[in-house]
Copies of this chain bind each other. A is one copy, B any other.
Amino acid sequence: MTDSASRRTFIAATGMAAAHVWVPGTARGYSAAEMRAMEETIGVSKWELDTPALCVDLDALESNITTMQARLAAKGLGARPHAKTHKSADIARKQLAAGALGICTSKVSEAEALLAAGIDRICMTTTNPSPSKIRRAMALRAKSAHFIQAVDEEKNARDLSDAAKAAGLTADVVIDVAVGTRSGIPAGAGAIALAELVSRLPNLRLRGMLSYDGGAQHLTGFATRRTTALANLEANVRVYETLKAKGLSTEIFSGGGTGTYNIQHEVPGFTDVQVGSYLFMDMQYLAIGNAAGGPVYDDFARSLTVLATVLNNRFPGRLTTDAGAKALTLNVPRAGVVGEPGMDYNAGSDEFGVITFSEARKAYAIGDKLELVAPHCDPVVNLYDQIYGIRKDRVEVVWPVTARGKSQ
């Protein structure tokens, strides 16, 4: 698929209608002036927002949540959406209301922010090796009976059990079993021994295992993705089956994501999928192709955009905008310009976007606004303090990005 072909799919006809007005949910950390500024945007056209502005189309977002939940359920799987994508308590609440089993977080600070904003049933998918983070994780467990955390080595399991004992509780843990070489304990005898150790340790409760295959999610072409994802999990399935045969907990066998959500049910024993980007879609996921062999991954609607303003139009075949690397990151493929398949968007400058084109739908004046599709949604959302929720082109709600920057 060429970039132009994928960009053409983004052209959207948008109407204008009265919006149902909501008030923002939690908004810790905003000054009174900032809160007023956000409230003043409720009901206005998105095209009037100061830019760069991170927007989500609520019809598309809600449809994506419903669709994912239904499709996973039809295959006997649960959803355990990963909050690393949206970092938003408001969106997590929608996912849980739609039937998600729980919410994943990548970091302890992310879990802290979401729990403080009322999101329970959190599974932290990254390990906490340092004493300080172990204490923070135990504090979360003390506040929430539903908090689950990952472990991937014997020393860490013993440290967790000791810390749980010191905190006067029993901590729920899942074994993180590696897929590839990035994180987790290799799928083999060591993983089984670790599960047995966890089962024996006095202050830990084994809940099952994680097996996230980050590498398979963005493979292009459904057939390749399916073959690779299933092959990558073969050793993990053997771990799962051994744990089951030994009578150890396999209540949770979780992993996968937006790219493999329709493949994971083929994995024996798999319970739930850690989907994230399906909410928003982005240039990376749009390019991986769908199960019917089409070049565009169109299972979910593209809901997330960044609004930008043209700052310079004076040089032929070029436009400069106010959305650079601090608004879009340097991920590839580059940002798409909605309705302008012939435009190439370079966010290589920190503060400026540079568009080059040979033909454009219209002549752009300084001050005109453009709508951009993010290269990769997760790190882009992490740049913004709020998301504007848009319905029929008007601001319906402003959501704080609850766990923005919570990378600890």
Contacts and interface: CB of A to CB of B under 8 A. Distances in A.
Contacts of A389: none
A383 B407 contact: yes
Contacts of A311: 126-127, 129, 183
Contacts of A79: none
Contacts of A378: 326, 350
A130 B50 contact: yes
Contacts of A93: none
A5 B129 CA distance: 32
A67 interface: no
A405 B379 contact: no
Interface string A310-328: 1110110010101101110
B326 A183 contact: no
Contacts of A294: none
A258 interface: no
Nearest to A180: B315
A214 interface: yes
B405 A404 contact: yes
Interface size of A as a range: 35 or more
Given A129-B309, A325-B329, A326-B379, A183 B320 contact: yes
Contacts of A405: 383-385, 404-405
Contacts of A340: none
Contacts of A53: 408
Contact of A181 (B184, B318, B385): B318
A272 interface: no
A156 interface: yes
Given A182-B349, A330-B330, A28 B31 contact: yes
Interface in A318-346: 318, 320, 322-323, 325-327, 329-331
Interface string A209-244: 000001000000000000000000000000000000
A351 interface: yes
B48 A132 contact: yes
A193 interface: no
A129 B310 CA distance: 8
A107 B183 contact: no
A357 interface: no
27 contacts: A29-B29, A29-B30, A50-B133, A51-B408, A52-B408, A53-B408, A84-B350, A107-B322, A126-B311, A129-B309, A129-B366, A130-B367, A152-B312, A155-B366, A178-B312, A183-B312, A185-B314, A186-B314, A186-B315, A322-B407, A325-B329, A327-B407, A329-B329, A329-B330, A330-B330, A350-B376, A404-B405
Interface of A: 28-31, 48, 50-53, 84, 106-107, 109, 126-127, 129-130, 132-133, 136, 152-153, 155-156, 178, 181-186, 214, 309-312, 314-315, 318, 320, 322-323, 325-327, 329-331, 349-352, 354, 366-367, 376, 378-379, 382-385, 404-405, 407-408
Given A182-B354, A325-B331, A404-B405, 17 more contacts: A50-B132, A50-B133, A107-B351, A126-B311, A127-B366, A129-B309, A129-B310, A130-B367, A156-B366, A182-B320, A183-B320, A186-B315, A325-B379, A326-B379, A326-B382, A326-B407, A350-B376
